[in-house]
Each structure stands twice: as C-alpha cells, then as structure tokens.
Amino acid sequence: MTALRDTRRAGPGLDELLADVRELVECESPSVDLSAVERSADLVARLGSERLGVTPERLVVDGVHHLRWRFGPPAAPRGVLVLAHHDTVWPIGTLASAPFGVADGVLRGPGCFDMIGGLVMALHAIADLDERDGVTLLVTGDEEVGSASSRELIEDEARRADAVLVLEASAHGGALKTARKGTSLYELRITGRAAHAGLEPQKGINATLELAHLVHEVAALADPGAGTTVTPTVATSGTTVNTVPALARFSVDVRAWTAGEQERVDVALRGLRPVLPGAGLHVEGGVNRPPLEEEASLPLFERAQSVAARLGMSELSRTGVGGASDGNFTAGLGVPTLDGLGAVGGGAHADDEHVLVDRLVDRTLLLRALIEELLAPSPPTEEHHHDR
C-alpha cells in the first residue's frame, strides 16, 4: 500500500459519515453487474485512501473487485480482521424511485443499511485509531450472491487473525448478532420419459408427478424444534402442454443453527429415491455457509459489552438471525467472530431500507474502541510475573 496524507481524527464527524454514505449509495452496485461493482470498488478505494491515508490492494477474482488494507509490517501478526462488502442487492436505476435522502433523523437509499452504512463506519473507525498495526480491512464485492469469489480471501485472512468483526447491519434495536444460521443450497433434478399426453401418456414417466412427491418429502426434513428450515423454492418442469414431462427440477434452501443439522439434512437429501418406477434423481449443491454458533461469538460480545459500559453507552443486546453473512465462514474456521456491528436501522433488501442517523457516531465509536481493546496486549499472567 502507498502512504498518503494522515487523516486520523479524534472522533468521527457525522457530516463526514453522511457524506461518505451518500457517495456510496449513489454509486449503485448490484452484485450481478460486474461493471457496477468495479465502479463501486473504485469509489471505496478513493474514500478509503482519503480516510485511512493509504491505498488498498485491489484483488480481482473471477471479475469481481475486492479491496484489502493491511496495517503493520508484512510479517507482523494480524490481530483483528474487519469484514465489509460493497455490493448491494438493488438493480441499476433504483435510485430514480428511491433516492438518497435524510429526513427526521432517518437516512434512506438503496443499500444504506445493508451494508454501506457499516462499510463507512469501518473506514472512519479505523481512521481514528491511534495504532493500526495488526488490523486488516477486507471489503468484498460479492457477499450478496454467496461470496463465491471472495470466500478463499476471507478464510485466508481469518486464519491470520485473533478476532473477526463483521460490519453487517445490526438486528432489531441495534442488537449484535451472536448466532447466524448456516445455509445450504441444493438443486434436485428429476428425469422421466417424454410421451404424447393425449395419445400415449401411459408410456411416459411424468417428471412433474415425481417432483410433487419429492417436494413433500423434502419439506418434511425441516425440524421446527431445532430451528431447521428446509424450503423448496424455484421449480420448473416440462416443455409443452401436450407432452408428458421428461425433466423437472427444483431448488431447496436449508437453514440450520448447527453444523450437525446441516449434515443431517444433507445426508437425507442425498438419500432420497424416486417414487415412480423408472424416474431418476440427481442432487446437486451442499453447504454454502456453516453456522455462526454462539461459542464463536459470546466472548467477543462480552468484551464489546465491557467497552460499551466504559464509554457510557447503553447496554448492548444480542440475538440470533436466520440470514447468513461472511462471518459464517470465519466462525466455521473456529475464529472468534462478532457480527452485526454496522448501522442501526431496518428494511434490509426492502423498500423501507433505512439507517438511524443518531446511531452512526456512537456505533462507530464502539467499533473503534473494540478494535483498540482487541489490539491491546494482554496483561501478564501471575506465572509470567514470577518469571521476571
């Protein structure tokens, strides 16, 4: 990284936070549009260079642009990995009907909550650190579509870190996310045999009928008591209205709190057999993200709670959520991970997406202080004291 001017400040300024959020919201960045993601990465690189005083590494994988800032000597240990993403779910042109705006203390605009607000908070929190050695900021460009090109980068950085802080938006009321369900994605492909639906339907093997049988079997794999959902989603079958369908397929979304539940459903799906004689079944897919289990996050939450108390802030709350994030990858490696440290607001992926303006500064201060806490050397143990 190339050194630029020093822009560290005593604390984040709300006007600067809002200005940076506005620039990024108005640079539309849908994950599926690689040109838009590249433009967004250009803007994040410029804003980050201005705030942090150094330019990032540009990492392009499968055409997707990711950015990385590493602070400290190359061989120095990495204490804290801060994770953010700059892609959003909103298509180009959304700004025309949902422009950026701030009114009555509420900021609105596509992607402001998930997760441009958190990204801007990360830039400002790290900019305000007195000591940054040991901090890595990784900003990816494909989180909203599964992080296929960034997963290896995320996991490589996590293996070098003692803790991972994820700037995804908070849960309701500003709660931090100490548990996330793991996500598994499947496609079940059914093969039958075509025949004329009017002349010789008995000679066909109806893939649509087989799909109907299998959808019920698949849905029955859910376990409400364990919080495991198994949801058949997109389904297609057949070619013409007068032909017995020879091919059908449907997708399945699985969410589970534990790796054990993910494994149970995976084994069951792969063990399914067709009901109709002669029909075939092929199961594709598997685990996309492991769960973020509380054992990976509670120690960090307790430290964040202590930091908040020291700053005179309200007591932090925590919750588990069904959605997955890149924090699932890092927690799956056994690295302590705390999620939901980003903006306070609501409406992720919805028309009412918004950020509460009066929470931007205090959450940025919390993040900065938590990073400082995690970078601070541990006090010597009693045994070490006697050794001296």
Domain coverage including residue 364: 14-180+291-375
324 in any annotated domain: yes
Res 293 pLDDT > 90: yes
Tell me: do 175 and 205 sit in the same domain: no
Max Cα-Cα span within the chain: 93
Count how many domains the chain has. 2
CA dist., res. 244 & res. 237, Å (int): 10
The residues that bridge with 306 in the sheet, in sequence order, are none
6 in any annotated domain: no
Are 68 and 138 contacting, i.e. CB atoms less than 8 angstroms apart? yes
User: By C-alpha distance, which of 47, 36, 71 is closest to 141?
Assistant: 36
Tell me: do 217 and 159 sit in the same domain: no
pLDDT of residue 380: 52
pLDDT of residue 386: 36
pLDDT of residue 383: 45
21 in any annotated domain: yes
Domain boundary among 248, 266, 289: 289
Per-residue confidence at 8, pLDDT binned at 50, 70, 90?
very low
Query: Domain with 244 in it: what CATH number?
Result: 3.30.70.360
Res 307 pLDDT > 70: yes
Res 7 pLDDT > 50: no
332 in any annotated domain: yes
Sheet containing 163-166: give its strands across: 57-61, 64-70, 135-140, 80-85, 163-166, 337-338
The pLDDT tens digits of the residues spanning 41-58 come to 999 999 999 999 999 999
pLDDT of residue 385: 39
Res 5 pLDDT > 70: no
Tell me: do 24 and 60 sit in the same domain: yes
Helix (H, G, I), strand (E, B) or coil at 270: helix
Give me the amino acid identity at 294: E
The pLDDT tens digits of the residues spanning 103-131 come to 999 999 999 999 999 999 999 999 999 99
Tell me: do 63 and 161 sit in the same domain: yes
274 in any annotated domain: yes
Token code pair at residue 36: 């838009």
pTM of the model: 0.88
Tell me: do 228 and 349 sit in the same domain: no
Mean pLDDT of 165-184: 97
pLDDT of residue 384: 40
State the helix-helix crossing angle for 14-25 and 360-375, rounded to 10 degrees. Answer: 100
For the chain, where are the E strands, in sequence order? 57-61, 64-70, 80-85, 101-103, 106-108, 135-140, 163-166, 176-180, 182-191, 229-237, 247-256, 280-289, 318-321, 337-338, 345-346, 354-356
Consecutive H or E run containing 264: helix 259-270
pLDDT of residue 182: 96
Tell me: do 158 and 252 sit in the same domain: no
